Amino acid sequence: MTGKKAPIGIFDSGYGGLTIFGEIRSLLPQYDYVYLGDNARTPYGSRSFEVVYQFTRQAVLHLLAEGCPLIILACNTASAKALRTIQQCDLPQIDVTKRVLGVIRPTVEVVDQVSCTKHIGVLGTSGTIYSRSYELEIAKLYPDVHVVSEACPMWVPLVENREYDSPGADYFIQKHLNALLMQDSRIDTILLACTHYPLLMNKIKQYLPAGITVFPQGKQVADSLKDYLFRHPEMEMRLTQHATCRFQTTESAAKFSESASVFLKHPVEVEQIVIA
């Protein structure tokens, strides 16, 4: 028994997942969505595996209680530190018909098509980079691809404080790009392994040599979700299609609405909730 139809759940530790959501909704506007931001406990990037798993599990349980049969972890840190345990240990105990998907695998799947030199750079939060999730996932699919990574702990604060296009951002952008390229001069593709980083795209391109492709995640995650629903009609049939979205936050609703406008280019109505 699959139960009644319900929206797709999308979870992020904060605002960055809105870049993923924007691409998903642009490609699949007919579906209903519930977006949950755990803004009261962000950032996740510097937290331990145990804490990220605990917080992510609480968010997933909340979205499951909302009825969502399919949940997207639109957060690289949650995908790196919590997804596998939730898929393998929690869902079989909670409901074997529900699905939780992440953003790392869809991003990695296209690496071999994008890079000509087979030398890839990955930029992300400390949590994502130190988990080595991208290196491990790429090695599984494309063992001939060489990967180097660089943690950029200041980039998320730049975005969330609306400094992403200001002169003050230049030092931190240039510093980490130089550090990445010093590790491997043959890099021709850089993956932005954080959902905040697309807002830094203008600055990133400004400080990169010609010929390097910068690859944000949103479009690929959206394409992957569309393909997943095509391949799993039993799941697609469980989703409501009224083109609506509800936004929820664990922090101030007014603050979320104001910050969300940076990512979505328009304000949104938000409900403040408590998860534990």
Q: What is the DSSP string of 235-256?
A: HHTTB--S--EEEEESS-HHHH
Rounded Cα distance between 130 and 179, Å, is: 16
With left for phi above 0 and alpha for psi between -120 and 50, is residue 184 left, alpha or beta?
beta
* Token pair 């909302």: residue: 66
List of the chain residues with pLDDT < 70 = 1-3
Rounded to two decimals, the pTM is 0.92
Catalytic residues: 75, 194
Residue-wise pLDDT tens digits, 134-177: 999 999 999 999 999 999 999 999 998 889 989 989 999 999 99
Instruction: Tell me the HSE value of 112 on the side-chain side, using a 13 A CA sphere.
Output: 12
Omega before 29 within 30 of 0, i.e. cis: no
- The answer to whether 133 and 160 are in contact (CB under 8 A) is no
CA distance 133 to 75: 13
Strand-by-strand arrangement of the 8-12 sheet: 99-101, 70-73, 8-12, 33-37, 245-249, 270-272
